[in-house]
Amino acid sequence: MMGDISHTPVLLNEVLHVLAPKDGGIYVDGTFGAGGYSRAILDAADCAVLGIDRDPDALALGAALADSYKGRLTVIGGRFGDMRALLNARGVDKVDGIALDVGVSSSQLDLAERGFSFRLEGPLDMRMERAGTTAADLVNTLPERELADLIFRFGEERASRRIAHAIVSARRLKPFATTSELAAVVRRVVHARGDAIDPATRTFQALRIAVNDEIGELQRGLEAAEALLDAGGRLAVVAFHSLEDREVKEFLRARSSAAPRPGRHMPERATQAPTFRLLSRAAIRPSEAEIASNPRARSARLRAAERTGAPS
């Protein structure tokens, strides 16, 4: 099962400030996890929350939590990229706020048997839904060049070619089965430097993103949020690494300015009215106090926007 139900998510106060829950409102916690955002929203106003998660452990936790809120919390199994269809199927076509905390959760990282962590011995799995292709499948079957490209693209790892070569050489002797086996091979290629991150960090990140199609999921989720949010509704997205944050930043930047605009050498064309208004130009970062109490918050970035009345 997932971690303690009392777990406090990153940037909780800042996300609540953005969403500004109101009585009678409908809110979506698109990455339910341990239910931290959902509980805070429900406690802040007499509103309803629809929680979405693809992880069976999170759904089990959500079922127990829903009993505490007398019909105000509904937890739905599925991906937040599909939230428009998931909500439409329940008769909901507009909401007042959406919170997304993208990437792997602390609860998933802390369970060795889920295979997300290079610090814990476990199966090389990394599947959020416990179904489909595993990380072991990728490292044991992908051609060397494809593996290098994956590690470079999703892990932003400069040593991706050397790492992929080492993985392919090692798997000829014995297929990878555990997290520690893969981490050991990566550490032989990339050496730790002082207080820098563990050499295996970027490779594990890349595999996890690929296994769960996290970038594609985020893109679909942002488009679904644009369609679901009512005028004045708020979107709060917390990301933990540059790939995710860049996707959110570019999406909101594009949607918050009218485009295309005709130039001197361009014929006059109709413009699309902005569908979002940025609530903060720069990403909102955790306080020093939060980082001190939760070091995992260090890399978190919150981007927030308000839906206009323009059609998506």
**pLDDT (tens digit, 9 = 90+) per residue, 200-209?**
989 999 999 9
Phi-psi region of 195 (alpha: psi -120 to 50; beta: other; left: phi over 0): alpha
How large is the average pLDDT for residues 270-290?
Answer: 91
The per-residue pLDDT for 18 is 98
Residue 269: strand, helix, or coil: coil
Q: Which of 24-28, 56-60, 190-194, 253-257 has the highest mean pLDDT?
A: 24-28
Work out the pLDDT band at 259, boundaries 50, 70, 90. low
Residue 220: strand, helix, or coil: helix
pLDDT in tens, 135-159: 999 999 999 999 999 999 999 999 9
Top pLDDT among 192 and 181 is at 181
The per-residue pLDDT for 6 is 45
- In this model, does residue 1 exceed pLDDT 50? no
* CATH number corresponding to 110-212: 1.10.150.170
β-pairing, 48-53 vs 26-29, is parallel
Q: pTM of the full predicted structure?
A: 0.87
Q: What is the mean pLDDT of the chain?
A: 89
Q: Tabulate helix, strand, coil % of the chain (nearest 5).
A: 45, 15, 40
- In this model, does residue 267 exceed pLDDT 50? yes
Give the strands of the sheet with 48-53, arranged side by side: 73-77, 48-53, 26-29, 95-101, 229-239, 301-307, 276-278
How large is the average pLDDT for residues 51-72?
Answer: 89
For 38-52, 104-118, 220-234, 264-278, which range has the lowest pLDDT when averaged over its residues?
Answer: 104-118
The CATH class given to the 12-101+214-307 domain equals alpha beta
Work out the pLDDT band at 187, boundaries 50, 70, 90. very high
Domains in the chain: boundaries: 12-101+214-307, 110-212
The per-residue pLDDT for 69 is 93
How large is the average pLDDT for residues 107-134?
Answer: 71
Task: Say how far apart CA 211 and CA 236 lie, in whole Å.
Answer: 25
How many residues in the chain?
312
Q: What percent of the chain has pLDDT over 70?
A: 87
User: Encoding tokens for residue 287?
Assistant: 């306080």
How large is the average pLDDT for residues 208-218?
Answer: 93
Phi-psi region of 304 (alpha: psi -120 to 50; beta: other; left: phi over 0): beta
> Contact, 144 vs 165, CB < 8 A?
yes
Task: Say how far apart CA 207 and CA 124 lie, in whole Å.
Answer: 10
The per-residue pLDDT for 87 is 98
